[in-house]
Structure 1
Amino acid sequence: LGRVKGGAGVMEEMLHCAAYQGHAQSARELAAYLRTGKKYKDAVDAYQQATSSGNTISARMLSEAFKGVSSPDSLFYMDLEADEERSKRYEAIHNFLKSNEAQRAKVSDLDIIAPLPPTKLPAWDGTFQWQKER
C-alpha cells in the first residue's frame, strides 16, 4: 500500500493497529517507516512497542540509538540524547530476546525496565517478568 497513490496513510494505520495489538513485526515495520519519514518520537514509541512484543531487532535499534548517534544519515539515528545506561538495558533486552527467540519471549515489563525519556530509569535487578513466570 505504501507505493499506491494515497495508500501510505492506510498502510500506516494498518501497521499501527496491528502493532498496538501486539504484532511485533508490524510494530517494527511501522517504526522503520516512521524513522525514514523523520517522525523520530513516533518511531521510538513504535520500536518500544515492538521490543515489548518480542522483536529483537527493535531492541537492538533502541540500544544503538541511545548511544547518541549524531548523524541523521545513520540507520540508528532517532534524535535521542546519549544515555549509556538505557543503551545497556536495551542491549540486555536484545540478548534476552535473542536467547529466548524460539520460546517467543516478550518483555511485558519493558516500561518498568526501560521507560522512554523523559522518565528516569528505575533500579533494575536484571530479570524479566517473562522469566519469572516460567
Structure 2
Amino acid sequence: MKWAVRILHIVLVPLMGFAGFFKLSSSAETIREIYTDPLQSIGYSVGFIYAIGFFELLAAIGLIVGLWRAAIGYASLGVIFIILLGAVGSSLIAGLYAEAVSPFIVMLLTALVFLGNRYVSNHSRRSAGLSRQ
C-alpha cells in the first residue's frame, strides 16, 4: 500500500508542475485563448491564471518536499485539491462539461493520495507503538 501511494504521489508532481509551468510560460494571448475566453462568463483575468500557475508550480515543488516532510505534502495536496475544485466548478458553471472531466479525475487522484498518505501514516504509527511495548 505504501509504495502504491508513493507512486501516485510522484505521478502528481509532473501533472501539476507541467500545468503550472505551461501557464507561467505562456503568453497573455495564449492564456486568453485557452483559459479566459472559454470562461468569459466567469470573468477570470490573465493575471489570475498566472497566479493559478504559480500556485500549481509551488504545489508541485511542495509535493517533492512532502516525500520527506509530511506536513508540506499535505498542504500541497490541499492547495492542489482547491485549485482543481475551482477548475471543475468553473468549467461546470461555464457549461464546459467535457473540460471538467480531466481536472475532476486529477482531483480524485489528489484525494486518493491524501487519504492514502493518512492511512499509511496512521498505520505506521500504530505499528511503531505496538513494537515498542
Bin for the TM-score computed over the shorter chain: 0.3 to 0.5
Between structure 1 and structure 2, the one with the greater Rg is: 2
Tell me the TM-score normalized by structure 2.
Answer: 0.36
Tell me the TM-score normalized by structure 1.
Answer: 0.35
Larger helix proportion, structure 1 or 2?
A: 2
